């Protein structure tokens, strides 16, 4: 029913647009339908009494993009349907998502608005964001964002982004909250290969009433860096800055990192290392230090293989370290169908607790149509 209501809202938005706009626009449509069966030896990363589950997941995603003059309208709808072999560990789920965006561009700049609604499992979202292990509840996130950018003097660009987000949990171990964030960035095109930039971001965290006793707090993050096009195939980013908070997160902490991305004739490689501050369902802001790497190789015209690895250290209320390593292979069965096999190993470490780990093996069949 939630998906039908979301689709009804999207349809109503299109109907309310002026008739001339809808029919004068150039529309692009696409649908992606991944269907996955996977075995997870320890989805909750329990240190004892580990229970395995087999999950079946169907996650259709539909996108519609309309361009009319200087305006662009984007609509996205998705649904994550999951069935578990043991609901005492992982619940059956039907999580919808909806996104609607509008963007207007001119010769010297542009601005736009985006609204999003996403439901997801706390078991996966909290673990991926900050390494926190929570029971399988539901995270509901509502967000409204605005953006603006303008060219200045031919070489400089000013960019501003503002977002209001409301995050709600239906389990007591996580704290629902509101967040308002805004940032202002300046980029200077020094040359075709070097582009320095500065950025200043401010975030306000407000816990919801009736949840855990967590104080409101602010976070301020000035950053400077440079975008580099080292060669025609190798690009990178260097950044350095600080994060300073009020309340329980008071005090300045150094932040920054680097990114490298190489696109070869047969393989791609990317590395991302850095330290940042994010909001968390634990309450307040959390400092995350992370290192991620990915490598993929084109075996032949229809087959690819790759490796993904990550290390993440979280300094929240329950400091922990999360490691992941995975290998995968995919094969194009036809222009519309792709099969993918993936193996993943996870390990979580926390002071005072035994290490927890899990092995995941999954087979995915993906249908994608660029003009559905």
Q: What is the pLDDT of residues 4-62, one digit of tens each?
A: 444 444 444 444 455 445 555 688 999 999 999 999 999 988 888 889 999 999 999 99
- Give, as one character, the DSSP assignment of residue 139: E
Task: Specify whether the CB–CB gap between 326 and 342 falls below 8 A.
Answer: yes
pLDDT value of residue 337: 97
pLDDT value of residue 251: 67
pLDDT value of residue 20: 46
CA–CA distance from 340 to each of 207, 319, 327, 329, 337 (Å)?
41, 34, 11, 6, 10
Task: Specify whether the CB–CB gap between 195 and 227 falls below 8 A.
Answer: yes
In whole angstroms, what is the distance from residue 99 CA to residue 281 CA?
A: 23
Domain ranges across the chain: 2-369
Q: How far is CA 123 from the centre of its chain?
A: 16
Mean pLDDT (the chain) is 89
Q: Does domain 2-369 have CATH number 2.30.29?
A: no
In whole angstroms, what is the distance from residue 117 CA to residue 368 CA?
A: 23
Give me the percent of the chain exceeding a pLDDT of 70: 90
Residue 104 neighbours by CB distance under 10 Å: 13
Q: DSSP string covering 220-285, please?
A: EEEEEEEEEE-SSSEEEEEEEEEEEESGGGBEEEEEEEEEEEEE-SSEEEEEEEEEEEEE-TTSSE
E runs forming strands in the chain: 26-40, 53-58, 61-68, 71-84, 93-105, 109-121, 138-152, 156-169, 177-188, 194-207, 217-229, 234-245, 251-263, 267-279, 285-298, 303-314, 320-332, 337-350, 356-369
pLDDT value of residue 7: 45
pLDDT value of residue 6: 45
Note the pTM of the prediction, 2 decimals. 0.86
In whole angstroms, what is the distance from residue 306 CA to residue 261 CA?
A: 15
Which residue, 335, 339, 346, is CA-closest to 362?
339
In whole angstroms, what is the distance from residue 248 CA to residue 207 CA?
A: 13
Residue 126 has pLDDT above 50, yes or no: yes
CA angle 360, 362, 366 (to 5 degrees): 150
Taking residues 87-109, report their average pLDDT. 94
CA–CA distance from 154 to each of 10, 199, 252 (Å)?
39, 19, 35
């Amino acid at each position: 029913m939630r998906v039908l209501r979301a689709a009804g809202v999207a349809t109503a938005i299109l109907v309310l647009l002026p008739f001339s706009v809808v029919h004068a626009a150039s529309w692009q449509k696409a649908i992606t339908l991944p269907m996955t069966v996977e075995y997870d030896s320890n989805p909750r990363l329990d240190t004892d009494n580990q229970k395995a589950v087999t999950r079946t997941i169907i996650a259709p995603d539909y996108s519609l993009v309309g361009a009319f003059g200087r305006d662009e309208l984007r609509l996205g709808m998705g649904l994550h349907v999951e069935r578990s072999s043991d609901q005492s560990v992982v619940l059956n789920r039907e999580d919808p998502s909806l996104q609607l965006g509008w963007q207007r561009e001119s010769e010297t700049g542009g601005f736009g608005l985006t609204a999003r609604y996403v439901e997801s499992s706390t078991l996966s979202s909290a673990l991926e964001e900050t390494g926190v292990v929570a029971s399988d509840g539901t995270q509901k996130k509502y967000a409204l964002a605005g953006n603006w950018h303008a060219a200045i003097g031919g070489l400089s660009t000013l960019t501003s982004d503002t977002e209001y987000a409301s995050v709600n949990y239906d389990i007591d171990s996580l704290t629902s909250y509101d967040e308002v964030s805004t940032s202002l960035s300046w980029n200077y095109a020094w040359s075709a290969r070097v582009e320095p930039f500065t950025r200043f971001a401010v975030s306000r965290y407000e816990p919801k009433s009736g949840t855990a006793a967590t104080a409101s707090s602010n976070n301020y993050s000035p950053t400077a860096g440079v975008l580099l096009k080292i060669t025609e195939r190798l690009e990178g980013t260097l950044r350095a800055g600080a994060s300073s908070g009020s309340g329980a997160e008071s005090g300045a902490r150094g932040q920054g990192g680097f990114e490298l991305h190489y696109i070869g004739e047969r393989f791609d490689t990317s590395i991302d290392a850095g330290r940042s501050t994010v909001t968390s369902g634990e309450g307040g802001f959390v400092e995350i230090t992370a290192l991620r790497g990915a490598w993929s190789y084109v075996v032949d015209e229809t087959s690819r293989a790759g490796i993904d690895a990550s290390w993440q250290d979280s300094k929240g209320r329950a400091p922990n370290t999360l490691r992941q390593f995975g290998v995968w292979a995919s094969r194009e069965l036809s222009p519309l169908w792709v099969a993918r096999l993936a193996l993943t190993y996870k390990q979580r470490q926390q002071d005072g607790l035994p290490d927890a780990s899990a092995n995941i093996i999954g087979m995915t069949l993906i249908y994608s149509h660029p003009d559905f």
